[in-house]
Amino acid sequence: MATPPIYPGTTADPDPSTARDRAWLEVDEEALRYNAAALHARARVPLLPMVKANAYGLGAVATCRTLGVAFRDQPQAADQSPWGVGVATLDEAAQLRDAGCEGRILCSTPLRPEELARAASVGVRPALHRAEDIAFWSTMGGPGWHLAIDTGMARAGVRWTDVASLRDAVAAHPPEGVFTHFHSADESVASMDDQDGRFQAALSQLADVLPAGVIEHRDNSGAIASREAGSPGQLARPGIALYAGMFAEALGLRQVAHLRARIVDIRHVEAGESVSYGATWRASGLCRVATLAIGYADGYRRHLSNAGVVLIHGVRCPVVGRVTMDMTMVDVSHLPCAVGDVATVIGADGSDVLTTEWVADRGGVSPYELLVGLTMRVPMLRRPAIT
């Protein structure tokens, strides 16, 4: 395959001269921007992109920059730039701040009271749901807070039937935002309707104490994909769709992650002989088998043993035998190739694409787990455009 220019990623900061020696991840920044614009157009409200877990494994700092979030050395992009970004931990927020990020950051998971001082000093918007925490936060001089309402996820926030208990706290210290989270938006519109109804009921109980301009937000990727008429409220919080891990086909999103590995060895295997640990695969006739420099220690999941498919020179080649820690074997009997050639394990090569969702499905894991399971051993490279 042709080798287009590549920028080093800002997270792993690999050496560009060696990063493509073995296995590496290419992140298509143009595709990220395209997906953000497409989701913005569909949701019809500004986005709060979720960049938790290092932007689902694809680099949080670089993703924020790509999406036009303000940095010390980069003003906020004028149009369609996100309202802010979402993280799950204070370390994730601190990493963005240390890199010069000046945009709004919401931490969507509950923080313990002991963590609130740090949240204020990092300049994080916390998701709160206890009256004591709300009162405490108002003394800290931090940015606005968001009220988390649990409408059936049963994970975090005040239960929708209990919001009246927060009336005094909300009246005394009004939140900047109020939000909920769906448990099955992509699988069941009825469950989303239920949760929408509960959220609406909870909001009406607080209607006279919430500030007029309070920012409502509820939609994750699944909800954005499910609604034809746009997202209710003032923001939407996509994660997986931004990275094209799900809904890529339905929403016309572009593949962002391209995981590549070099062929490092090639051999003949004769009829009846086995490949890899446990001898789980045997050649039915004379075969050519290529060894790729990627394994489960890189995040190429062991579940893809005898199930995965890779692209070499745009041609599909099946994984044979078990994926090992550092190497994976593929059948290349049908294809001329040599040591040093590049296999695409996730993503596009030529006119074919192995989407993140498809690869995850082959391995019986969720696309979320496949992406966040890519490890530090894989250098991350940013590409301006991959087509």
Binding residues for ligand PLP (CB under 6 A): 50, 52, 108, 181, 220-222, 237-241
Q: Which residue has the tokens 């939609």?
A: 219
Specify the residue, 241 or 330, whose C-beta has the smaller distance to ligand PLP. Answer: 241
228 vs 197: CA distance, rounded Å = 18
Question: Based on the number of CB atoms within 10 Å of its own CB, is 78 exposed (0-12), middle (13-18) or buried (19 or more)?
Answer: exposed
- Identify which of residues 47 and 381 has a Cβ nearer to ligand PLP in the complex: 47
On whether the CB atoms of residues 51 and 63 are closer than 8 A, the answer is yes
In the complex, what is the shortest distance from the CB of residue 256 to ligand PLP, in angstroms, rounded to a whole number? 13
Question: Going by C-beta distance under 8 Å and a sequence separation of 6 or more, which residues neighbour residue 320?
Answer: 275, 276, 281, 287, 289, 306, 329, 330, 331
Q: Shortest approach of ligand PLP to residue 303 CB, angstroms?
A: 21
Question: Please, which residue, 94 or 251, has the CB nearer to ligand PLP?
Answer: 251
Taking CB atoms, the residue at the shortest distance from ligand PLP is 239
108 exposed, middle or buried (CB, 10 Å; 0-12, 13-18, 19+)?
buried
Token digits of residue 47? 């986005």
Rounded-to-integer distance, Cα 366 and Cα 360, Å: 6
Do 217 and 235 meet the contact criterion of CB atoms below 8 Å apart? Answer: yes
- Least Å distance, CB 284 to ligand PLP, is 41
Q: From start to end of 53-166, where are the E strands?
A: 84-87, 104-110, 125-128, 146-150, 158-159
Taking the complex as a whole, the smallest distance from the CB of residue 372 to ligand PLP amounts, in Å, to 10
* Lookup: tokens for 347: 């993503």
Is the Cβ–Cβ distance between 100 and 73 less than 8 Å? yes
Q: Which is nearer to ligand PLP, 221 or 291 (CB)?
A: 221
Q: Tell me whether residue 221 or residue 324 sits nearer to ligand PLP (CB atom).
A: 221
* Minimum CB distance to ligand PLP smaller for 219 or for 331: 219
Query: Catalytic residue positions?
Result: 52, 277
Alpha helices in 228-268 (DSSP H): 248-251
Q: Indicate the burial class of 282 (C-beta count within 10 angstroms; 0-12, 13-18, 19 or more).
A: middle
Minimal distance, residue 108 CB to ligand PLP, in Å: 4
Of residues 42 and 237, the one with the C-beta less far from ligand PLP: 237
Instruction: Determine contact, residues 240/232, Cβ cutoff 8 Å.
Output: no
What angle is formed at CA 217 by the lines to CA 215 and CA 219, rounded to 5 degrees?
Answer: 160
Least Å distance, CB 57 to ligand PLP, is 12
Amino acid at residue number 13: D
Strand pairing category for 287-292 and 84-87: unpaired
CB of 25 to ligand PLP, least distance (A): 19
Element (H, E) at 216: strand 215-219
